[in-house]
Structure 1
Amino acid sequence: MLFILGSLFCSCSKDDNFQSAADSHTVLLDSSFIISKEMYLWNTGIKDNKDFNPSHFKTPLELLIEFRKYSPKNDQGLPIDNWSFAIEKETWNNLLQGSSNDFGCSFRFKDSQDLRISAVQQNSFAHKNGLYRGLQVLSINDIKATIANIDLISKEFNTNTKLSIVYFDKETQVNKTLIISKEPYVLEPVMANNYFDVNNKKVGYLNISTFINSLNNKLPVIFDDFKANAVEVLIIDLRYNGGGLTSVMENLANMLIPSGAVGKTMYTTKHNTDYAMFDSTTFFSASDQRLDLKTIYFIVSHNTASSSEMLINAIKPYTNTILIGEETQGKLVGMYTVPFHNYILAPVSFKTYNAKDESLEKNGFIPNYYKEDDVANDFDQNEGCISAALYHYKNNVFPTSKSKLRIEAKQEIVLIHNTLPFAIKDKTF
């Protein structure tokens, strides 16, 4: 098992100058296959090396995408694994450090004729030039911003480093044009944090876009402030959080639990039969920033996945958790990262369960109150999901009106690429 990795690294450390390009390619793909198959959670149906023929794939990424076909099927008959991946080491290291190079904003249609900016990274070109969540976009590179043109608009974003955006400025009530550019910036994992006053009590609000290492430095400051302001209820917004490092998620989880949960099971991991000896249990630990909350509101969407879902699942047995938004992705599985040549291999390797042995597979978490992402408003008390949480806290019931179902399944143009859409255990083999 793991000793295979060591022997592979040793065998591949010889002078590659004596290998042809074809030989090197074969070694890379064959070895990637052996490593990934050994670790893959659903490896029982994968053929042997000879029959699988790894070397006919162009890259380890293509190889890992092929692995996905061997995962269990959902209700539509499609493989549930959308996540096993391989990535070049340099790109991976940039992800962990929050280094990004994109437009710094994402878009979502409010309705078929109304495109809004849904998220803006505060260190990006978009933010520095005055773009903000809720702003209405009228056209992009002279393409009218309607849902009928979503494929054309997406192509413009994917093929250009500069874009001409025409938008409606609410303050001046006139249309404006801005040329936005792809530029390097450092991702800010906290999109927003503030307070809302309800019945003379403070409700804390924390919006986290990803679980990367820099979040660990910010959480103690934020939670010390929550404690100083006697926050009794917290709204945690994970609607744009696709996951990240489990160690960072665990740090947050330890700040959210009641005192009685300290020392109890946070989550367990289960591997394939060959790796069963690595099954483990992670326990809640004491934290100086722990708030001892009785109720936590989670705002979620289909983008909420992996470490974000692990957080919700781990908290559920101990705290009253109320979900508002849309069904989550349903990804309570994760990976270890294996460095090999100039790649990082990350096949899905384990599944996670909470203290009640609950997990997800074919479906995500269903919200207690369905509400679409209200992209017409910023992250304030007027935004639909936040407003619903505040209303429920005040009245102990939800508003009677709910969002209609999406007009289209594909409404979003996600352009902030530097988030981690998976649960990564920090242990590296």
Structure 2
Amino acid sequence: MKKLQFILPIFLVAAIAVSGCKKNDTPAPTPAPTPAVVDAGVQNTANLFQDWYLWYKDMPDVDLSTYTDPSKYIDDIRYSKDHWSFAAPLDQIMALLQSGQSGGWGAGFKFDLSDSLRIAYVYNSSPMGADSVARGWMIRSLDGQLVKDMSIDAINQELARDQVTFGFVLPDSTYKALSISKGDVVMNTVQYSHVYGTNGEKTGYLVFSDFLEPSVADLDTTFTTFKADGVSNLILDLRYNTGGLLTTADSLMSLIAGDKYNNQTYNQQEFNDKHTDANEGNQIHQKPNSLNLNNIVIITSSSTASASELVIAGLMPFYPVTLIGTQTLGKPVGMSIFQDNQNNLAIAPISFRNVNSAGYSDYFDGIPVDYTVYEDVKYPFGDPNELCLKAALNYLSTGSTGTSAAMLKSGTMPAKLLNKGTDVTVTNLYDLK
């Protein structure tokens, strides 16, 4: 892939026309129009989109001089299937991808099967983590307002504040009020791991939330434990994983499949017709802690996207992968993140489509599951009573997920996480340039 480390801004300097006249009755010549000045960040963004955008042929013509915000420009020219291209402060994006650092609450918020708002997960090093807030806690009130009486917009407005008094109901039904301020967040992307015994075999369970650079070391540690314990089945929980770096996806694929499928190409990146020379394949490589697996079960939701879907689609031609949960988001494309250092901009056009080794690519509607199971957020990760994990363990033990009414319940939960709890969202980032 062509490496573009820096983007140089283009400046259009205004010219002023000055004219005089010899006689009072001689009409003055019409002044030449002053060239419009285009914001440097907007100009760089437009140049990159016209060059690298996967759907550049469908971009409408717009007057760049009317924009001062690159994000507004992207909103006006994006293709109908593109919900992800962005421009954002470069320093924040680099801190997020390279160090897993952001700001915010440090917790995911989601409705349960009874439409109660609960904590879905917590990053350990975060304001929520510092107050020992845990998955499953119900949020009864926000700044004294009962959540059950609030609209989604009103809830999001409260969560956008810098300080909120949360009224929690804990799993033992006790009430706890905490006034929490947003602060620094460092993401531990391996949220939980454990090894279970199923029918005389060892099953590794991994809850993985984001594909970031520090994730590689965390995954290596987890899979080293799995390897030492003789894990032959894997339950990979990606229900809250909205994506991240492609290099980290390569690492996860190698840990899962490297023992059997060393040097196999699992994904092809296909760029637009201006950059076919950038097309390249992503390969699986054997690592000392790569597993030799018999069965893979992946837990998904409509928050499972991008790099997560890439891993799912990448595994499908090699293993009989079983999907449990709800259909994924649907993002079979990726972006390159270009660095405009002079304007402190990360510019990320959707620039390539992903195609697995069997040619599977066009899953904009999401990857369907084999068994629909709606999670119950009130249980902590690893609790065998949690519906998605229970279904996965049942499937590995008996070949059936089970048929409880709660597992088959449909239609009560919002499509996505209400809030991912970080100021810089880890949504569908890919290839850093």
Place the TM-score, normalised by the shorter chain, in its bin: 0.7 to 0.9
Separation (CA, whole Å) in 1 of partners of 2:231 and 2:208: 18
- Note if contact 1:326-1:372 (Cα within 8 Å) is conserved in structure 2: yes
Supply the AA of the counterpart residue of 1:406. G
Q: Structure 1 residues 147 and 81 mapped into 2: Cα distance closer, same or farther (>3 Å)?
A: farther
**SS of alignment partner, residue 303 of structure 2:** coil
Supply the AA of the counterpart residue of 1:81. D
Aligned position for 2:145: 143
Q: 1:37 aligns with which of 29, 41, 50?
A: 50
**SS of alignment partner, residue 8 of structure 2:** helix
Separation (CA, whole Å) in 1 of partners of 2:199 and 2:6: 64
Q: 2:403 aligns with which of 389, 400, 404?
A: 400
- Note if contact 2:337-2:347 (Cα within 8 Å) is conserved in structure 1: yes
Q: 1:130 aligns with which of 132, 138, 162?
A: 132
The CA RMSD measured in Å over matched residues stands at 2.5
Aligned position for 1:121: 123
Deviation at 1:259, TM superposition (A): 3.9
- Note if contact 1:147-1:411 (Cα within 8 Å) is conserved in structure 2: no
Q: How does 1:54-65 map to 2 (within 5 A)?
A: 54-65=64-75
Deviation at 1:232, TM superposition (A): 0.9
Separation (CA, whole Å) in 2 of partners of 1:177 and 1:270: 51
Separation (CA, whole Å) in 2 of partners of 1:298 and 1:7: 38
Deviation at 1:408, TM superposition (A): 5.3
Supply the AA of the counterpart residue of 2:148. T
Aligned position for 2:255: 255
Deviation at 1:419, TM superposition (A): 4.7
Separation (CA, whole Å) in 2 of partners of 1:11 and 1:114: 51
Aligned position for 2:216: 216
Deviation at 1:400, TM superposition (A): 2.0
Q: Structure 1 residues 121 and 23 mapped into 2: Cα distance closer, same or farther (>3 Å)?
A: farther
Q: Structure 1 residues 8 and 155 mapped into 2: Cα distance closer, same or farther (>3 Å)?
A: closer
Aligned position for 1:175: 175
Separation (CA, whole Å) in 2 of partners of 1:288 and 1:335: 31
Separation (CA, whole Å) in 2 of partners of 1:6 and 1:167: 47
* 294-303 or 260-269, which deviates more: 260-269
Deviation at 1:412, TM superposition (A): 3.9
Relative to the length of structure 2, the TM-score reads 0.87
Aligned position for 1:339: 339
* 219-228 or 199-208, which deviates more: 199-208
Supply the AA of the counterpart residue of 1:157. L
Aligned position for 1:75: none
Q: Structure 1 residues 118 and 6 mapped into 2: Cα distance closer, same or farther (>3 Å)?
A: closer
**Greater helix fraction, Structure 1 or Structure 2:** 1
Supply the AA of the counterpart residue of 2:162. T
Separation (CA, whole Å) in 2 of partners of 1:372 and 1:8: 45
Deviation at 1:317, TM superposition (A): 0.5
Aligned position for 1:76: none
**SS of alignment partner, residue 297 of structure 2:** strand
Q: How does 1:267-278 map to 2 (within 5 A)?
A: 267-278=267-278
Q: Structure 1 residues 410 and 141 mapped into 2: Cα distance closer, same or farther (>3 Å)?
A: farther
Deviation at 1:316, TM superposition (A): 0.8
**SS of alignment partner, residue 139 of structure 1:** strand
Supply the AA of the counterpart residue of 1:28. G
Separation (CA, whole Å) in 2 of partners of 1:163 and 1:11: 43
Separation (CA, whole Å) in 2 of partners of 1:369 and 1:204: 20
Separation (CA, whole Å) in 1 of partners of 2:415 and 2:259: 42
Separation (CA, whole Å) in 2 of partners of 1:24 and 1:135: 53
Deviation readout 1:84-137 (Å, 9 max, x if unpaired) = 001111111221121121111122222455222111111112122121111122
Deviation readout 1:21-44 (Å, 9 max, x if unpaired) = x97743332332122111000111
Separation (CA, whole Å) in 1 of partners of 2:339 and 2:282: 24
Identity of matched residues, % = 27
- Note if contact 1:89-1:344 (Cα within 8 Å) is conserved in structure 2: yes
Aligned position for 2:305: 305
* 162-171 or 357-366, which deviates more: 162-171
Larger radius of gyration: 2
Aligned length: 405
Deviation readout 1:267-322 (Å, 9 max, x if unpaired) = 10111111112111222222111102121111111111111110111111111211
Aligned position for 1:354: 356
Separation (CA, whole Å) in 2 of partners of 1:318 and 1:229: 23
Q: How does 1:18-29 map to 2 (within 5 A)?
A: 25-29=38-42
**SS of alignment partner, residue 38 of structure 1:** helix
**SS of alignment partner, residue 285 of structure 1:** coil
- Note if contact 2:202-2:230 (Cα within 8 Å) is conserved in structure 1: yes
Aligned position for 1:74: none
Deviation readout 1:44-93 (Å, 9 max, x if unpaired) = 1224xxx421231231122222232x2xxxxxxxx221000011111112
Aligned position for 1:104: 106
Q: Structure 1 residues 58 and 289 mapped into 2: Cα distance closer, same or farther (>3 Å)?
A: same
- Note if contact 1:137-1:168 (Cα within 8 Å) is conserved in structure 2: yes
- Note if contact 2:112-2:413 (Cα within 8 Å) is conserved in structure 1: no
Relative to the length of structure 1, the TM-score reads 0.88
**SS of alignment partner, residue 359 of structure 1:** coil
- Note if contact 1:114-1:137 (Cα within 8 Å) is conserved in structure 2: yes
Separation (CA, whole Å) in 2 of partners of 1:214 and 1:336: 19
Gaps of 5+ in 1: 16-21, 71-78
- Is 1:91–2:92 an aligned residue pair? yes
Aligned position for 1:9: 8
Q: Structure 1 residues 205 and 410 mapped into 2: Cα distance closer, same or farther (>3 Å)?
A: closer
- Is 1:53–2:52 an aligned residue pair? no
Separation (CA, whole Å) in 2 of partners of 1:350 and 1:265: 17
- Note if contact 2:171-2:378 (Cα within 8 Å) is conserved in structure 1: no
Q: 1:367 aligns with which of 366, 369, 373?
A: 369
- Note if contact 1:297-1:323 (Cα within 8 Å) is conserved in structure 2: yes
Deviation readout 1:127-150 (Å, 9 max, x if unpaired) = 221211111221111111227533
